[in-house]
Structures are given as structure tokens and as C-alpha cells.
Amino acid sequence: MSEKIWLSSPHMGGTEKDFVTAAFDTNWIAPLGANVDGFEEDLEQYLKEGYVAALSSGTAALHLALVLADVKAGDEVICQSMTFSASANPITYLGATPVFVDSEKDTWNLDPVLLKEAILDRIAKGKKPKAIIPVHLYGMPAKMNEIQAIAATYDIPVIEDAAEALGSWYGDKACGTLGDFGILSFNGNKIITTSGGGALVGKDKAAIVKSRFLASQARDPAPHYEHTHIGYNYRMSNICAGIGRGQMEVLEKRVEQRRANYQHYVKELSGLPGVQFVSEPQGTFSNRWLSTILIDPLQSNGITRETIRLALEKYQIESRPLWKPMHLQPVFAGAPAYVNGVSEMLFNNGLCLPSGSNLTQAQLQQTTDIIKALWNK
Ligand SMILES: *Cc1c(COP(=O)(O)O)cnc(C)c1O
């Protein structure tokens, strides 16, 4: 039996252990140290704009972004419905309510038309949303010009969830640097990993400095422990940051490898009736964190995304339906939602294919051969 093929597994570059060893050699086994500072600098240089705070997770980064946007109990925050639950969960940590907005078909991300409708309706109902969270799902940049213009009109801060989109670009701007705040994730399944970790990105240096303060238990300057703010224990460990510094050396290569996976799938599968891909709108560049396909069951001779998933599973090949929209999740059943059917259609018909940068050509070929055989029966 051959080895299991994962959806997206960690892929070390080689120098990570050197940075981790340096942390041990200097005894900086703590949530601060040279690797944390170095990783933040590496990220700032890569992103070209904005300031970065290295944190314990992408979820923690979102939580702090919402705190900095002054989200409080009883407030409402607009969130893309088509996403992973971590985009929405931190809204509830603050006692605020998520208001879900559906996607457009070009990028599968926050629909600007529906966003405007949602804002106007929430204002009419008596509450202006305190923040907007668009997501660059699977690495595909959202329609940020349109989203930012609406956000500016109503003076609402944008918190960009770029957890899946490090290495993706919108024009000449890195995803994560477009909004007032952006967040990144270095979880084990992301394009680069620190085993677990995240970062807050922001245009305003003072806000990022404050996020580091809040993330280290909000200790005021004093010889004793003195507190005027509620703090969090959200700083990144110096060990994890060492892994991150090594990973930054291969980020560009990882983007190329993920994009090559996507090209393989297009080459092998785009001729199959009913199989569709999502292409990059003009002027955008996706890191293709996950390669995805949409199946139109009316054209695919009855083959569904579930037929494909089960066929791959027989050979220990992991695939996964597209993320189930938040407005369809039992835990968010009571939340307001502005929907147009797009995210539900994506969930019903879409599949994420094996997308790791460490997949071999043989593994990719085996995957597409199994899928093609379903059509050739
Ligand atoms: C992974 C992910 C997160 C959360 O990041 P963690 O580092 O795992 O906390 C948030 N949003 C999206 C869209 C993600 O994919």
C-alpha cells in the first residue's frame, strides 16, 4: 500500500533547525527573542508594506485586530460566509455578533454588491457594523478595490483574513497589507508553517506596537505587575519563530510549487465534462494554496464531488469539500446573513484536491488518473 497523500502537509526547507538550534544555544526558549524579531522583519520585507506582530495563531491575530478596531459586546461585524470558522469565531469572543455576507462567483470571496446591501440594511436596523472581514479563500484575492471603496464610504475598518494567502498579490500589493489590518496563519496546513502561529499586519505602526503589548499580558511599565488593559497571552514562541525564519527562505519556491500543482490539475482535468476551475481575475496573483475544482452534476454524467472524494479515499488520498459556509453552520444559526446562493452552490459542488508543495509528480498523476477513470467508465 502506498503512503497517504495529504491535502496540505508541512514542507520544511532545511534551515529551520539552524534557527531553532540558535534559540536553544542562547537559551531564548520564550515568547520573545531574536527569532521573533527576525521573523517579523522577514515578513515586513516580504510584504513590502506595513508592520507585523508575530503571534501564537491566526485566530489570535483576528481577535486582537477586532480589539484594536474597538469591537465590543453587542456590536456587529460583517464576515465573509464562505470561509473557515476561525474567521468568525473571534467576533463572538468579544460578545459581538457576526453578520454573514455571501460570495461572488469570480473569486468565491465577499460579494461587494451584497456587502453594500448588508451595510445599508444593518444601518437601517439601527447598528452600523464595526468592521468588515473579507477572506482570500484558498489564496485567491478578494475584490479589494470594490470592498475598500464601500468600507471607506461608510467609514468601517477592513480586517483582511489572509490566513490562506501569504504569497498572493492584488496588483503590486501583498494580500494582508490592503486592509486597515491583515492577518496571516502559519498553522501546519498553510503555505508555510511555524507548526502553529500567526501574525497581525497593519498600516499603523502604533497599533502594531499596541498589539504586541496586548499579546504579552498588557503589562504596563512598572517594577511590579501593573495593568490598565485586559491582556492576552498571544505572542509567538521564539522556537516557532525559528521555524518561520527558515520557512521564509523557501516561501517563493512554495508558491511556485503550489501553482504548478494547479497547472497539473488544469492540464489533466479541464477536458472532463462538468469540471470547472476558478481563474485569477486580471491583475491578481493567487498562491494557489489549495487547488480546487467545481463539478456541474448536470454535465458530469452524474459524477459529484462526493463520487470523486470517495474514489480518492480508497487510495488513501485526502480531498475535502469546499468549506461549508458559516450561515449554514449550526453554531451560527441565529446570526443575520445576506445570501445569494453562491457559497451554498460552491459547498455542494466543490472539492479541494491534494495541494501540498511536497507532492511528487507521481502522486499528482495518480490523483488525476483516478479522477479521469471515473469519466472513462
Ligand atoms: C487557518 C485559517 C485561520 C486561522 O488560523 P490559525 O493560525 O489556524 O488560528 C483563519 N482564517 C482562515 C481563512 C484560515 O484558513
Q: What is the DSSP letter of 331?
A: G
Indicate if the pLDDT at residue 28 is higher than 90: yes
Q: How far apart are CA 114 and CA 116, in angstroms?
A: 5
| Same-domain pairing of 160 and 286 | no
DSSP H helix total and E strand total for the chain: 12, 15
| Same-domain pairing of 232 and 105 | yes
Q: 194 in ligand 1 pocket by Cβ < 6 Å?
A: no
Q: What is the DSSP letter of 195?
A: S
291 within 8 A of 319, measured Cβ to Cβ: no
Q: What is the DSSP string of 261-294?
A: HHHHHHHHHTTSTTEE-PPPPTTEE---SSEEEE
Q: 90 in ligand 1 pocket by Cβ < 6 Å?
A: no
Q: What pLDDT was estimated at residue 326? A: 98
What is the residue range of 270's domain?
A: 252-376
68 within 8 A of 128, measured Cβ to Cβ: no
Indicate if the pLDDT at residue 34 is higher than 60: yes
Name the amino acid, one letter, at 37. Answer: D
Q: Take atom 14 of ligand 1 and give the residue whose Cα is closest.
A: 163
The total domain count for the chain is 2
Q: What is the pLDDT of residues 293-348, one digit of tens each?
A: 999 989 999 999 999 999 999 999 999 999 999 999 999 999 999 999 999 999 99
* From 190, 210, 314, 372, the catalytic residue: 190
| Same-domain pairing of 227 and 310 | no
Structural domain contains residue 128: yes
Q: 160 in ligand 1 pocket by Cβ < 6 Å?
A: no
Quote the cell numbers at residue 132.
468588515
Best probe residue, ligand 1, of 7, 164, 232, 343 (max atoms within 8 Å of C-beta) = 164
Task: Identify the domain boundary among 226, 249, 272.
Answer: 249
Q: 83 in ligand 1 pocket by Cβ < 6 Å?
A: yes
Task: Report the atom number in ligand 1 closest to the C-alpha of 196.
Answer: 7
| Same-domain pairing of 240 and 101 | yes
341 within 8 A of 102, measured Cβ to Cβ: yes
What number is the average pLDDT over the span 138-158? 98
**Over the chain, what is the mean pLDDT?**
97
Q: What pLDDT was estimated at residue 2? A: 67
| Same-domain pairing of 102 and 206 | yes
Q: What is the pLDDT of residues 126-135, one digit of tens each?
A: 999 999 999 9
Structural domain contains residue 93: yes
Indicate if the pLDDT at residue 1 is higher than 80: no
Indicate if the pLDDT at residue 204 is higher than 90: yes
Quote the cell numbers at residue 160.
483582511
- Cβ atoms within 10 A of the Cβ of 374, count? 15
* CATH number of domain containing 371: 3.90.1150.10
Task: Report the atom number in ligand 1 closest to the C-alpha of 83.
Answer: 13
Q: 58 in ligand 1 pocket by Cβ < 6 Å?
A: yes
59 within 8 A of 78, measured Cβ to Cβ: no
What number is the average pLDDT over the span 151-165? 98
Indicate if the pLDDT at residue 53 is higher than 60: yes
Q: How far apart are CA 332 and CA 339, in angstroms?
A: 14
* Distance between Cα 117 and ligand 1 center (Å): 27
Structural domain contains residue 152: yes
| Same-domain pairing of 30 and 129 | yes
Q: What is the DSSP letter of 292?
A: E
| Same-domain pairing of 295 and 158 | no
Q: What pLDDT was estimated at residue 3? A: 86
Asked about 190 being catalytic, the answer comes back as: yes
Structural domain contains residue 214: yes
| Same-domain pairing of 288 and 218 | no
